[in-house]
Amino acid sequence: MSGVISGFTVIFLVVGAGFVLGRAGTLGPTATDVLSRLVFFVCTPALLFHSLVTANLRDVFSSTLVVAGGTALTIGLVYALIARLWLRRPTADLVIGALSSSYVNSVNLGVPIAIYVLDDRSFIAPLLLFQILLYSPIALVALDLTTLPRGDGRVWRDAIVTPLSNPILIGGVAGLIVSGFGWHPPQAVLDPFRMLGEASVPLALLVFGLSLAARAASSGDGQDRQSRREVALAAVLKMAAMPLLAYAIARWGFGMSGHHLFAQVVIAALPTAQNVLVYAIRYGRGQPLARDSALVTTLLSIPVIALIAVLLG
Domain ranges for the chain: 2-211+226-312
Judge whether 67 and 198 are in contact, CB under 8 Å: no
Residue 209 and residue 227: Cα distance in Å, rounded? 25
Rounded to 10 degrees, the C-alpha dihedral 247/249/252/256 comes to -70
Residue 193 has pLDDT above 60, yes or no: yes
Query: What is the per-residue pLDDT across 277-288, written as a single tens digit (0 to 9) for each?
Result: 767 766 777 777
d(C-alpha 304, C-alpha 290), whole Å: 20
Q: What is the pLDDT of the chain when averaged over all its residues? A: 80
What pTM does this model have? 0.73
Q: Give the range with max mean pLDDT: 7-21, 125-139, 182-196, 218-232.
A: 182-196
Q: What is the pLDDT of residue 62?
A: 75
The predicted-structure confidence for 29-48, as pLDDT tens digits, reads as follows 888 888 878 887 888 788 87
Is 97:75 a contact under the CB 8 Å cutoff?
no
For domain 2-211+226-312, the CATH class is: mainly alpha
C-alpha to C-alpha distances, 288 to 96, 198, 204, 210, 303, nearest whole angstrom: 10, 34, 24, 20, 24
**Per-residue model confidence (pLDDT) at position 305:** 86
Has residue 6 got a pLDDT over 70? no
Confidence of residue 99 (pLDDT cuts 50, 70, 90): very high
Residue 50 has pLDDT above 90, yes or no: no
